[in-house]
Structure 1
């Protein structure tokens, strides 16, 4: 069953690229005492993720953070090195936090895992966005149409703030 509004995020470990390699990030620690927009994508560098979903959050970074958001993070079932490369490639490394869910543990714990084997992607995450306050989901947007980033996009988050 997928995570719902009012649920606490599962406390699993994610990774983040750093100058010293992959740095482990505990979900509970990362979200503690903060108001964060988190969005999930099926894969770094994939067309919809790179061309439609992520750019909206980069372009609207100032507007989103001006509404009391402490950070905007993106998570994907990729390793920390791929997420670090994606951050650099998009030029968003100073705005967004790029979190790696290399084994899909977080996606499964959220109930938002997706089998995209028919597209050659294997086990991934569904596309989503959420507003999280102190580790608790306050708003949740699940994308229902593959290849689209409307329901889970930055414009929707801005409307919800």
Structure 2
């Protein structure tokens, strides 16, 4: 599972449209937020905190916030537009369309019967120079406590 010392998986993700590739920065400080699925009620209550607090994260030296979901890029792009403030935000909504990033972070769980067989556990990670320096992993994927934007921001 996502833990201190883990390197970022070297996987290309997509943002906004197919083949608009994004490689996460390996220099500086970023926040990576893993969510089970775009548009799900817990995820749609989790991510707005990061959008609302993006300036607070910037003030603490965070160069970017990357929300990663095991969804297709059309879904993640539509979700960003649907969330209040999302379209104007610099928060990146990335599609881990085949779950390779999530597998590389050892953050998968089987959500068969609800969302599909491979989904991401809910977590947030502070990453500095390509390695996790702090990890915030929820015990239950429906919980939004440990990995909340407020909690992560307080830790910086």
* TM-score when normalising by structure 2: 0.92
| Contact 1:22-1:81 at 8 Å conserved across structures | no
- Structure 1 segments (4+ residues) deviating >2 Å: 118-122
Q: Which residue of 2 aligns with 1:37?
A: 31
Q: Is 1:133 the counterpart of 2:132 in the alignment?
A: no
- Measure the CA separation in 2 of the matches of 1:16 and 1:44: 13
1:132 match: secondary structure: strand
Measure how far apart 1:6 and its partner are: 1.3
Local SS of the residue matching 1:146:
coil
**Aligned position for 1:47:** 41
Could you list the runs of 5+ residues in structure 1 that have no partner in the other structure?
none
Q: Report the Cα distance in structure 2 between the residues aligned to 1:60 and 1:120, rounded to whole angstroms.
A: 28
Q: 1:59 aligns with which of 52, 57, 71?
A: 52
TM-score computed with the length of structure 1 as normaliser: 0.89
Moved more, 57-66 or 100-109: 57-66
Aligned partners of 1:130 and 1:137 also within 8 Å = yes
The 8 Å contact of residues 70 and 97 in structure 2, kept in 1 or not, is answered as yes
Q: Is residue 2:6 matched to residue 1:7?
A: yes
Instruction: Report the equivalent of 2:86.
Output: 92
Name the count of aligned residue pairs.
154
Q: Which runs of 5 or more residues in structure 2 are unaligned? A: none
Q: What's the counterpart of residue 109 of structure 2?
A: 114
More helix by share: 1
RMSD: 1.4
| Aligned 8 A contact 1:127 1:143 in 2 | yes
Deviation at 1:146, TM superposition (A): 3.2
